[in-house]
Amino acid sequence: MESISAFEMIKVGIGPSSSHTMGPWRAAEMFTATLAQKNLLESTIQLKVELYGSLAKTGIGHGTDVAVLLGLSGEDYTSIDTTLIDEKIARIKAEQKIQLGAQKWLAFSYAEDLIFHFTESLPFHPNGMRFSAWQTDESCYSETYFSVGGGFVVQENQSENKAGSKVTPYPCHNAEAIERNCAALNLCMSDLVMLNEQTWRSKEEIVAQCLNIWNEIKSCIWRGTHREGILPGGLNVKRKAAGINRKLLEGKSYSNREEWIEAVKSTGRNFTAINKWISCFALAVNEENAAFGRIITAPTNGASGVLPAVLMYASCFTDDFDDDKIVRFIITAGEIGTLFKKNATISAAMGGCQAEIGVSSSMAAAGLTEVMGGSVGQVLMAAEIAMEHHLGMTCDPIGGLVQVPCIERNSMGAIKAITASNIALESDPEAACVSLDEVIKSMWETALDMNSKYKETSEGGLAVNISVGLAEC
């Protein structure tokens, strides 16, 4: 089994969905790149995109249509100016043409050339899409892709596209292997992960990448706590983070991000206040995510607020928190994410929300336990506890939007992660009744048994019992 870097699980992304936005965006880029490689780009005269299964059913609410158009246009979601997205899409629709791969102008009708197959799914995965390009010689070149969660993309009949996949010196494909390797090398978990991560990049690059992720997290939370108004999509969901931030700060002044963080720290360590701050941090991220903002995918966008909220909590309200702890937190959390990716799923379309909020909570619990001085056993125990109490969680977004119940659910996942860490730090892992490997196995079995209507289709649960278009949420 090939290893997966922690930075494939925690990375810069764009809202509102890793599987429905980032994945299709990436697939569109892959298709245009293939056309260029095969010298078919200039001879393309017509283009069609077909979305199947969950991508069709909740595609509009998740921004799949937007992602596909921007990906085909050669835009990069890690660097695009997110404030210009609406303008770019409006222009494509109005002018009915697209610049394929940022090179070839092509007639393109949003209404006729982007097709939603609401009642049809492709084999292998619910998030299927097909791109077809007709040529001047009347031939047609097509490719089918599947967005399998966390921004990962699989091309039909090919192995999963994992950039730079390699076998690490100390493979850790399950929790038992992590524990065994740490014992044999007499290392804590983050030190073991650091050794393995050097398969892809130097130690200096690993540290720099972690600190870049931390910088993006702080910026995202800062933006989210200072933006008010109504989120896009039609549900009329009001942003909450800015109001909570303002109330908790009680008039404290600041003029930039770092001064704001110091102001947050100065509010003290009252349990109720800290609890509210954790929720505020998580809400801030996911409100940004819902508005096509730049976020950190960890391991998905729907769950992107959990890990940042826990990391910001640790930075603001625990002692002696420094850059070294940031690095250890991130790589430990990322490694836990790879276990779920390899042995279960991180896709809500495959496993419901347990595969998103549950996995993210498990990752954050492990990261926090590592930097709080937990043993390897306690780190794995914290990850297990967090997932154990998310088992069976369905994905039933109202209106197909990553808003209700998704945004508030991130706050709950963050609190559960911290609780799981606290329990593990006060426990003897040898006495645990359930192992992390066993809970991952149980999570996957639950995913397989779960009715498809609870897997990001908006055909069950809250999605059908709550009226779309509420005046206020």
Cis omega before residue 308 (within 30°)? Answer: no
- 235 and 114 share one domain: no
- State the alpha helices, DSSP H only, in 347-405: 348-351, 357-371, 376-388
Q: How many residues does the chain have?
A: 473
Residue type present at position 367: G
CB neighbour list of residue 148: distance below 8 Å, 6 or more residues apart: 19, 23, 125, 127, 154, 160, 345, 347, 350
Whether 12 is in a domain gets the answer no
For 268, phi and psi rounded to 5 degrees? 95, 180
* Same domain, residue pair 101 and 197: no
Residues 197 and 140 in one domain: no
3-class secondary-structure state, position 153: strand
Is there a single domain that holds both residue 294 and residue 217?
Answer: yes
Kindly state whether residue 270 falls inside one of the protein's structural domains. yes
Hey, is 154 helix, strand or coil? strand
Assess whether 128 and 239 both reside in one domain.
Answer: no
Examine residue 162 and state whether it is found in any structural domain, yes or no.
Answer: no
Asked whether residue 217 falls in the same domain as residue 100, the answer is no
Strands, E assignment, 65-183: 97-100, 104-107, 114-117, 128-135, 140-149, 152-155
In a domain, 169, yes or no: no
Same domain, 43 and 137: yes
Domain that holds residue 133: 18-155
Q: Do residues 197 and 136 share a domain?
A: no
Report the predicted TM-score, pTM, of the whole model to 2 decimal places. 0.91
Q: Nearest Cα to 407, choosing from 231, 275, 276?
A: 231
pLDDT of residue 159: 63
pLDDT for 1 equals 75
- How many angstroms from the chain centroid is the CA of residue 197? 20
Q: Which of 121, 155, 189 is the last residue of a domain?
A: 155
Asked if the structure places residue 163 within a domain, the reply is: no
Q: Are 249 and 263 in contact (CB under 8 A)?
A: yes
Alpha carbon separation from 277 to 84, 268, 382, 412 (Å, rounded): 31, 11, 22, 12
Please identify, among 127, 155, 183, the residue that sits at the C-terminal boundary of a domain: 155
Are residues 136 and 41 part of one domain? yes
For residue 381, what are the CA distances in angstroms to 142, 192, 252, 377? Answer: 46, 17, 39, 6
DSSP-assigned beta bridge partners for residue 287: none
Let me know whether 352 and 448 are in one domain.
yes
Is residue 400 assigned to a domain?
yes
CATH number for the domain that contains residue 130:
3.30.1330.90
Say what the pLDDT of residue 211 is.
Answer: 98
pLDDT in tens, the chain (473 residues): 789 999 999 999 999 999 999 999 999 999 999 999 999 999 999 999 999 999 999 888 889 999 999 999 999 998 999 889 999 999 999 999 999 999 999 999 999 999 999 999 998 899 999 999 999 999 999 999 999 988 999 999 876 544 446 889 999 999 999 999 999 999 999 999 999 999 999 999 999 999 999 999 999 999 999 999 999 999 999 999 999 999 999 999 999 999 999 999 999 999 999 999 999 999 999 999 999 999 999 999 999 999 999 999 999 999 999 999 999 999 999 999 999 999 999 999 999 999 999 999 999 999 999 999 999 999 999 999 999 999 999 999 999 899 999 999 999 999 999 999 999 999 999 999 999 999 999 999 999 999 999 999 999 999 999 876 544 55
Query: 409 and 328 share a domain?
Result: yes
Inter-axis angle of helices 406-425 and 306-317, to 10 degrees?
A: 50
The whole-number pLDDT of residue 471 equals 41
Q: Are residues 240 and 354 in the same domain?
A: yes
AA identity, residue 408: E
